[in-house]
Amino acid sequence: MRNEVIFHSEALEKEGNTLVQMGFRCDACGKTSYPVYELCPFCSSGEGSKTPLSNTGTLFSYSVTRVPVGPFKPPIIAGYIDLPEGTRVFGQIRADVKAVKTGMSLKVETGTIWTEKDGTEVIGYYYTPCGKEKGGAE
Ligand SMILES: [Zn+2]
């Protein structure tokens, strides 16, 4: 039997067989934050509810690490992705380094982000290009 753990257990929830990123929508100011906090980081209200986040966004900024970090092999691309609801999410981007540009469309995916020595698969989220760029494949 395959052993799995979710790396961002507070940030991902199962909906059927799919893992979904969950944010917090504040009833007082209407803003959405990620991950889920006890109090709204914008207005400190505790009134609100968990809400599934949009699965596509726009790359705000990114950096490339060219040395191995823990289980990750270089080049490691990490960045901030702006979602339509106004939430900025930090995540790893799996793409050809040369194809990554600020402003590009990305979609979230979930899957194995690394495998432990005992075979346990660590499940998390990452972003991949949407293929909506000029000249990109659909
Ligand atoms: Zn608020």
Per-residue pLDDT of the chain (138 residues; tens, 9 = 90+): 578 888 877 788 888 888 899 999 999 999 999 988 889 999 999 999 999 999 999 999 999 999 999 889 999 999 999 999 999 999 999 999 999 999 999 999 999 999 999 999 999 999 999 976 554 444
User: Taking the domains of the chain in order of start, what are their residue ranges?
Assistant: 4-129
Distance CA(1)–CA(19), nearest Å, equals: 20
Give distance in angstroms: CA of 42 to centre of ligand 1: 5
The residues near 44 (Cβ < 8 Å, ≥ 6 apart) are none
Strand partners, 80: 61, 90
Measure CA 135 to chain center.
Answer: 25
The residues near 54 (Cβ < 8 Å, ≥ 6 apart) are 83, 84, 85
Give distance in angstroms: CA of 37 to centre of ligand 1: 11
How is residue 29 written in tokens? 């100011």
Give distance in angstroms: CA of 98 to centre of ligand 1: 38
Give distance in angstroms: CA of 49 to centre of ligand 1: 11
